[in-house]
Structure 1
């Protein structure tokens, strides 16, 4: 399936996590903020490049971008609308919420390198189960920027102990979509109490002989919107990404 075909299905109302969709194409997190917050968002991304690798930024009111030829208001499978830091709507179309002053940011997503993991025969559990990747708020603070501050968010994939080094090597080749893991092993090292209770996404089984491996996650800016009580913003529903028209190889070093 091409990105165009996938976006057509989402525009028709299909809501589904996008892990495994359109192998070979980069996926991206969406966050659209009012223009008066755009500099703070750029600075937050610059200060926190691991979770916030910016792939593209639009002008105020833009509904498409050079790397995303679809409509940012309709062509993702899920969105969250925030008011005063609280999620007030989760929908499949944000046309009625979109404003002329919104600046859209597309931020790299680790789904982009999952196809490379699979090609190396490294198991990706949420792809095997057809679910969403588990994501967790951590106790690690991001560097604040203007009005934005909040915790690092991570995604987790259980990796067989003997393949952890391979997973690090493969993902490290994609620095613009989070790159190498930020933590390997004991989740308590990130302040995560229970892997079975993710803050976003679905829990997955960590089997005997497997190690939980954590990558920085592009939901981090949305966590900052919530933590800082930002008056208004629109983001993708976690795991329900913007599928871009750019090949994943464009972000490989």
Structure 2
């Protein structure tokens, strides 16, 4: 009897020198959830738990070569994108992924770091909407990101979030996970999953910690790991939410950095 092939997940994102978000968080998440992680680096950031000091975009021809090198050799089961930075990078990634439409694709529209520093130029937003989102199996915006994508104000109620989720589906993705952590009207953080047919509310108790650096990257990567392992989208989201909730709950055990520290990706093992 042959052993089961390990799922292979590819992350296309920026490098976080502080190790809490971006490529580093993605690879830690893949590993924690039993997937083999490959990576394409779109930018190198000089970053820690308190600030982003500098961003160096990787030339698009190198990004293109990285993607092709991975797909030419590895049987990729899922793709996840994070920080893309500028319109040229978004276009490059869209051109490449359009050749692999059968591979599930989770798009985390990273726009702002936990420190408040911008990670996506405004000029790239339209390119993201027109070229990349229509290729995605799932997009995972938080409320500020969703408001930028739709050109509207942030919702202040769950009912407004439902309307926003429906509007986001109009951008062409296969499904939407609208993350409601910025809606501070209750003791729970409520996310909405919408695939054009069902609207599912997913709530978790808020956890009192400032160590939430990389939560968006980690959640999207955890969903990707579930998809790579053969779960359907909603099942992958539920597994990922359980994982990120536990990783946040254990975050204070790490004591890394002086700002917004990372979540604890390996809480099961350390």
Q: Same fold (TM over 0.5)?
A: no
Question: Which structure: greater helix fraction?
Answer: 2
Q: What TM-score range do you get, normalising by the shorter chain? A: under 0.3
Using the size of structure 1 for normalisation, the TM-score is: 0.28
Using the size of structure 2 for normalisation, the TM-score is: 0.26
Question: Which structure: greater strand fraction?
Answer: 1
